[in-house]
Structures are given as C-alpha cells and as structure tokens.
Structure 1
Amino acid sequence: MSLSKNVQQILNATISSLTTVIPLQTKILAPSLTVQPYEQKELSVLIGLVGDIKGRVILDTTPDIVNTIGQAMFGMTIEGEMIESFTGELGNMVVGNLCTTLEKEDLHLDISPPTVMTGTAKISGFRQAFKLPVQMEDGAIMHILLTIDKDK
C-alpha cells in the first residue's frame, strides 16, 4: 500500500478517534505538512507507532485544554500533577483507538508507552509530518502531529 494512502488512513482514523474519545464538540481544521523542527510550546504527549508505518503521533495541547477534556469526561477539575498524567492517558486513548480503527482496514500498528513533554521542546528527525489542528468548543486549538519516519 502506498505511503500517501496509509497517511490518509491514519489521519481519517485520528479524526474518528478524536470524536469517539473526546466528549466535546470539536472542529477538525485542514491538515497541513509541517517542517522540522516542530516546536511544541506547553504540553504534549508523544506516542510512537511501529508496524506497517513507523512514526509518532503527538498531541500538542495546553493544560487548559486537558482540563476542559477531563472535566467533560469525569466531571471534575484536572490540575497539578494530574494534568501530565491525564495528558498521557488521553494520548493512549486517542492513539489506541485509532490503531483499533486501522486494524479493521488491514493497517497494523503497535504503540509505545506515552512520553509527556512539558515546556518548549523541538521535535525533529522525521521524514514527513502532518499537522491536524483541532478546534475545541471554546476556540482553543490542539494540534495533532503525525510524523512518518519511513515506509516499512
């Protein structure tokens, strides 16, 4: 299967996963290619992908967005150390769900444990990267970054 078809499948499964996992109205904005290095500003979770594609999914977000999602899911404020913990779990839920969706389309992927990053960080070392902006109900934007290392 071609790389472009696989990338399209992953982006579509990401959109499906976001709408399944996040119990809020979101608006998926147009994806775009992004260049190295990608700079995350506040808070993100990185989950590696291996299998038919090798790369990473990064949810680049903010503590406010994570708290809003947590409140919608659990009815309570997510703050302090729980922000980072829940960010990792949110990444697991989104990327795990997208892998389950892709399995039905014969695209086989496994994921790594989540790596939560805080503060400013530059991410490089990928062949291609696609940025998918997700607008939350309050207008805040979370970016989903899909990096591709190589075909397998």
Structure 2
Amino acid sequence: MRIALIADTHGHLDPRVADAVRGADVLVHAGDVGDGIEAAMAPLAARIVIVTGNNDPVDAPWPESQVLDLPGGSLVVVHGHQWPAKTRHRKLRDRFPEARAIVCGHSHRRLEDTDQTPWVLNPGAAGRSRAYGGPGWIELIADSDRWQVRTQSFEPPTRRRSR
C-alpha cells in the first residue's frame, strides 16, 4: 500500500508535490492545511486523511488526530504542535506506543526518525511557507511484513523580481 505524507501547506500545495503523490492509495495531511487544499487533494488519491493544525481555523472539519490501520500496523496522524520541540518525539512515542509510525508536521522540517518504534516521520512543508530545503513529502510503503519510507524534496521555487 502506498501512503503519501504531506504537511504544512498553509493554503498552497506545490504542484510538483501534487504530481508526485498522485495515485497514492492514501494521501495524509498532517495539519496546517489552509484554504482550498482539501479540494486540491481530492483527485490525487483514493482516500484522503487530514488532521487539523495550530494554524487551521478552530471550526475546521478535521480531527486533531487520526489512526489508520494499515497492513503491518497502525499509523497515527497528528500535527505535533501539542508537544514542545525538545521532547516531541519522546512524548509522541509515549502517547502512541501501539503505533508502528507517527506522522506529524508543525516544524516544517522533513525527517525520518526510524531508530526506534514507533517511528516519527515529518514530511516537512509541502507548500512555500518555510519549506526548508524546498517543498517535499514522504512516501510510506506499508506491507504486512515490512514498511519502507522514502523522502523527496524539490528545489525551492525561484522568487520573481519586481521591475
């Protein structure tokens, strides 16, 4: 099963990320979505999963967290702003010990912390707002006996100069 993980679009999904995730079995957005992004995600994958982030409206229709039952284990989706940066991974693992992996956003920094279970995965920003190292995403391949992750990032868009 192919799961595409994105986060922190803040109202802009980089078109290169959109093209790369197209056709995923599940497209997961780990919060700070922004206007129009849910509609932009709809044609990209068979199933869409979104959680709310600290920059989404209080009345956003998405839950604060979700658990996906996947082949070989569960994936927890949460934005991550609920825990301080220094202790975030430990606290996420303490809160969700039954998960095989946890995807979170918030920091806009892409990382794969797979040294212990549950893994903590942050796809970084998939838009233009603080997309450190360029916009990107993480691909998770979940089989009943093995999970694999692959990160992909793109060059930051060039800024147009005013004349």
Whether TM-score is above 0.5 comes out as no
- Greater helix fraction, Structure 1 or Structure 2: 1
Normalization by structure 1: what TM-score?
0.29
Q: Which has the higher contact order (CA 8 A, sep 6+)?
A: 1
Normalization by structure 2: what TM-score?
0.28
